[in-house]
Amino acid sequence: MYNSEVRGRLITGDKSLGQISREIIAPIHAKTPVWWYFAVLVGLIMFGIGGYSIFLTLTKGIGMWGVNNTVAWGWAIINFVWWIGIGHAGTAFSIFLLILRQKWRTAINRAAEAMTVVAVFCASLFPLMHMGRPWLFFYIFPYPNTRGPLWVNFNSPLFWDFVAISAYLLISASFWYFGMLPDFATIRDTAKSKIKKTVYGIFAFGWTGSSREWLRFEGLSFVLGGIAAVLVVSVHSIVSTDFAVSVEVGWHTTIFPPYFVVGAIFSGFAMVLTLVVIMRGLYKMNDFITDSHIDAVCRVLIFISLIMGTAYLTEIFMAWYSGSQYEIYMFFHNRLTGEYAFQFWAMFVSNAVIPQLFWFKGMRRRMWVVFVISIIINIGMWFERFNIVVTSLSRDYLPSTWASYSPTWVEIGFFVGTLGMFITGVLLFFRFVPMIAISELKSVAKFDKQRNENLKHNDHE
Amino acid sequence: MNKDYILGVFKDEESLVSAFDKVKEKGVLPLEVYTPYPVHEILEGMGNKTRITYAAFFYGVFVAIGILSFLTYAASISWSLNYGGKPFNSFPSFIVVTIVATILSITILTLLTFSIRSKIFPGKVPEIYHERATDDRFVMVIDKKSMGANTEAINSIITEYGEIE
C-alpha cells in the first residue's frame, strides 16, 4: 500500500473526486486559447513543408536527398530511429512503471502514450519514403504472389522491423484508446452541450463503469500490460539488429540491442519531460503533475544517462581491446577526432554529461532548467543516431569508397514536416482528449486522504 | 416514480465498501455497482469472474503455433529461396517474427473479446442509472424484489453511509 506520508502526496491541493474530473476536463470545455491556434498554425506550416518535401521525393526520386552510394542511409534512418526511440516512452511509462507499481505514473502515462502514437507514426513515414517507390509498399506482406523470387526474407531484420513497428503502432494506439474509455464516459456524463455528449458518447463505446465492465477492463489491462512489456525491449532491439547484423565497422557489435533500448527509453523519458513541463506551464496541471513527479523522472534520467555514458565508453574500450585496426580507426580516428567529431562530442556531452546536473535538487526544482535539459537530451539522442549511421557508412573498409554526407533541404524539410505533425498531434491531444488518466488518478487519490489507515490492506494494486 | 430498483449513492469508496459488506450480510446482492474507478472489494464481492486472461493465453498458444508453422512451411517447403547458402529452415531467426506477431494478435483478439463480452462498442447506447457514477459518485443498484423482508434494514444501511435516490 502506498503511504503518502513517506513517499509524498500524489495529488496536491486536497481535491475531491469531482474536482479531479473537472480540472482535467477543463481544457476540453474551455474556450480554445489564442496561442493554441497560433501553435497549430506553426505545426501545420511545418507539416506543409514536410508535405512538399515528400511530394518532391515521390515525384523526382531519392536523388533529391543527399544520400549517395556509400552513405545510403542518411537523415531518413536517423530520424526514423530517433522517432521510434521517443515512441518508447508510452510503453515504458505505462508498462514498466505499472509492473514496478509506481503510483506516480498515473498522472503522466496518458500523455506519454499519446506522444508514443504520434511519434511512431512519424517514424513509420521515413522507411516508407526511403523505399523510393512507396506505392509498392505491399510487397513486404508475405502473401501468395506471382513475383517469383521477390518474396519476403524472414531472416532479415528489416522485415522483423516492419513487423515490430506496425505491431507497436497498433498495440500502443489500442492500449491508449481503451485506457481512455472511462474518461470519455466521464466527459459524456459531465458535458453540458449536446454535441459533446453525443461525440464523446460515441468515443466512450457505451462505458458505464459497472463492476462487470471494470472486472474485464482490469483483466484486459493485465493482459495487454503483461505482453506489451515485451515490446519495450523487443522493438528497439530489432531496430538495433538492422545495424548490428551487417558487417560494418562500428555496427557489428553485441552491445547494440541493450544500448539501443536504453537510449530509446532515455529519449522517450526526456520527451515526456518536455511535454509535462509544457502541460504544467500552459494548462496549470501542477496539482496533478507535482514537483515530485518531475523529480522522479529527472532521477530516472540520471540513472539512464549513466548507463548511456557507460555504453559509449564500453564501445570505445572494446574498439581498442579488439585490436581490430578497422575498429580502432573508426572510434579513435573517425568518431573521436574525424570529420564528424562535432556530432560525437555533441552526443557525448548532451547525453552523458549534461543530465548529471540532475544530481542537484536545485536543478530538478527549476522547471526551466528541466525543460532545457530535456531538450538537450533529445538533441543529443539525435546526434547519437547521426554518429552511428553516418560515421560508420562514410568510412568503410575500402578507402576508395569513402564519401562525405550532408543532407539536402528536402531531407531537412521532411524532418521538419514530421516535427510539425508531432506538434499538431500533441496539440490536438491537449485540446480534445483528457491529458491525464482521470479514472486512474482517482483510484490513487485515496492514498492522500487523512483516513488512509482505514482502507483495507488487501488492495491489489 | 415506478421503479423496481433503488439506488444507493455514496460519496467515497470506504462508505460504498462498508455499505456493500453490510448489505451482503443481509443476504442481498446488489444488481450492479457503478464506480468511477475499479474498487477491488466490490469486484470480488460481486462474485463475478472473468476468463479473459485464459482466453488471451489460448489465443497466444494457437497464434504462435500458427505463425511459426506458416514461416517454416513458406520458407522451407512451399517457397524455399537461397539466401547466401543459409539453411532454408533457419528456425532461430523465425522466433522474432513469431513473438511480435503473436503479441499483436493477442492484443487484437483480446480487445475484440473484451468488446464482445462487455458489450463495449462504438455506437452503443449506455444504460445510465446515475449521471455522476463516472464522475464522483459510487452507485449501488438494488432490486426491490430481492430485498424482501430486509427492505427497512437495507434502507437504513444505505442512509447511514450515503443516500437513497
* B103 plus B56 within the same structural domain: yes
Domain membership of residue B134 (yes or no) is: yes
Q: What is the pLDDT of residue A4?
A: 66
The residue among A170, A205, A175 whose CA lies nearest residue A187 is A205
Q: What is the pLDDT of residue A460?
A: 46
Binding-face residues of A in 113-142 toward B, CB within 8 A: 142
Q: Which residues contact A461 (CB under 8 A, 6 or more apart)?
A: A101, A103, A443, B40
Tell whether the model's pLDDT for residue B2 goes beyond 80.
Answer: no
* B71 plus B83 within the same structural domain: yes
DSSP A393-443: HHS-S-GGG-------HHHHHHHHHHHHHHHHHHHHHHHHS-SS-HHHHHH
> What is the phi/psi pair of residue A107, to 5°?
-80, -20
Tell whether the model's pLDDT for residue A83 goes beyond 90.
Answer: yes
Rounded Cα distance between A140 and A142, Å, is 6
Report pLDDT digits (tens) over A39-48: 999 999 999 9
* B105 plus B69 within the same structural domain: yes
What residues of A are in contact with residue B61 (Cβ under 8 Å)? Answer: none
What residues of B are in contact with residue A453 (Cβ under 8 Å)? Answer: none
Q: How many CB atoms lie within 10 A of CB B157?
A: 21
Identity of the amino acid at A320? W
Report pLDDT digits (tens) over A164-190: 999 999 988 888 898 889 999 888 888
Domain membership of residue B83 (yes or no) is: yes
Domain membership of residue B18 (yes or no) is: yes
Return mean pLDDT, chain A: 87
Q: What is the pLDDT of residue A91?
A: 80
Q: Using the beta-carbon criterion (under 8 Å), do A211 and B33 form an inter-chain contact? A: yes
- For range B99-118, the mean pLDDT: 91
* B91 plus B74 within the same structural domain: yes
Q: What is the pLDDT of residue B31?
A: 83
Lowest mean per-residue pLDDT among A26-35, B4-13, B111-120: B4-13
Rounded Cα distance between A351 and A381, Å, is 7
Three-state secondary-structure class, residue A69:
coil
- Residue B55: closest C-alpha in chain A: A223
Rounded Cα distance between A170 and A305, Å, is 30
Chain B interface disruption, residue of A168, A217, A220, most B CBs within 10 A: A220
Q: Using the beta-carbon criterion (under 8 Å), do B103 and A167 form an inter-chain contact? A: yes
**Would the CA dihedral through B28, B29, B31, B32 be positive or negative?**
positive
- Residue B41: closest C-alpha in chain A: A459
The Cα-based distances of B84 to A31, A155, A443, B87, B88 in angstroms read 63, 11, 57, 9, 10
Count CB pairs under 8 A between chains A and B.
200
Q: What is the pLDDT of residue A311?
A: 93
Residue A289, judged by CB atoms within 10 A of its CB (0-12, 13-18, 19+), counts as buried
For residue B138, the domain's CATH number is 3.30.70
Asked if A181 reaches chain B (Cβ–Cβ under 8 Å), the answer is: yes
Lowest mean per-residue pLDDT among A1-5, A431-435, B94-98: A1-5
Domain membership of residue B122 (yes or no) is: no
The residue among A355, A448, A431, A453 whose CA lies nearest residue A25 is A431
Asked if B114 reaches chain A (Cβ–Cβ under 8 Å), the answer is: yes
Q: What is the pLDDT of residue A461?
A: 44
Asked if B54 reaches chain A (Cβ–Cβ under 8 Å), the answer is: no
Asked if A244 reaches chain B (Cβ–Cβ under 8 Å), the answer is: no
Report pLDDT digits (tens) over A382-425: 999 999 999 999 988 888 999 989 899 999 999 999 999 999 99
Q: Using the beta-carbon criterion (under 8 Å), do B122 and A202 form an inter-chain contact? A: yes
Q: Using the beta-carbon criterion (under 8 Å), do B60 and A227 form an inter-chain contact? A: yes
Q: Which H or E element spans position A160?
A: helix A157-190
- Residue A185: closest C-alpha in chain B: B134
The residue among B44, B54, B106 whose CA lies nearest residue A219 is B54
If one counts the domains in chain B, the total is 2
* B94 plus B144 within the same structural domain: no
* B32 plus B73 within the same structural domain: no
Q: Which residues contact A167 (CB under 8 A, 6 or more apart)?
A: A231, B100, B101, B103, B104
Q: Using the beta-carbon criterion (under 8 Å), do A217 and B111 form an inter-chain contact? A: no
Q: Using the beta-carbon criterion (under 8 Å), do A151 and B81 form an inter-chain contact? A: yes
* B63 plus B37 within the same structural domain: no
Q: Which residue has the cell 515521390?
A: A58
* B132 plus B91 within the same structural domain: no
DSSP A237-297: HHHHHHHHTS--TTT--TTHHHHHHHHHHHHHHHHHHHHHHHHHHHH--TTTS-HHHHHHH
Q: Using the beta-carbon criterion (under 8 Å), do B134 and A174 form an inter-chain contact? A: no
- For range A281-294, the mean pLDDT: 84
What residues of A are in contact with residue B90 (Cβ under 8 Å)? Answer: 154-155
Domain membership of residue B70 (yes or no) is: yes
What residues of A are in contact with residue B131 (Cβ under 8 Å)? Answer: 189-190
The Cα-based distances of A98 to A94, A128, A408, B145 in angstroms read 6, 33, 43, 42
* B109 plus B158 within the same structural domain: no
B156 is in which domain, residue-wise? 5-48+127-164
- For range A64-80, the mean pLDDT: 91
Domain membership of residue B99 (yes or no) is: yes
> A117 in the Ramachandran plot: left (φ > 0), alpha (ψ -120 to 50) or beta?
alpha
Q: What is the pLDDT of residue A119?
A: 93
Considering only CB atoms, B100 lies closest to which of A163, A216, A459, namely A163
> B137 in the Ramachandran plot: left (φ > 0), alpha (ψ -120 to 50) or beta?
beta
Three-state secondary-structure class, residue B7:
strand
What residues of B are in contact with residue A185 (Cβ under 8 Å)? Answer: 126, 134
Domain membership of residue B152 (yes or no) is: yes
Return mean pLDDT, chain B: 85
* B41 plus B56 within the same structural domain: no
Tell me the ipTM for this assembly.
0.90
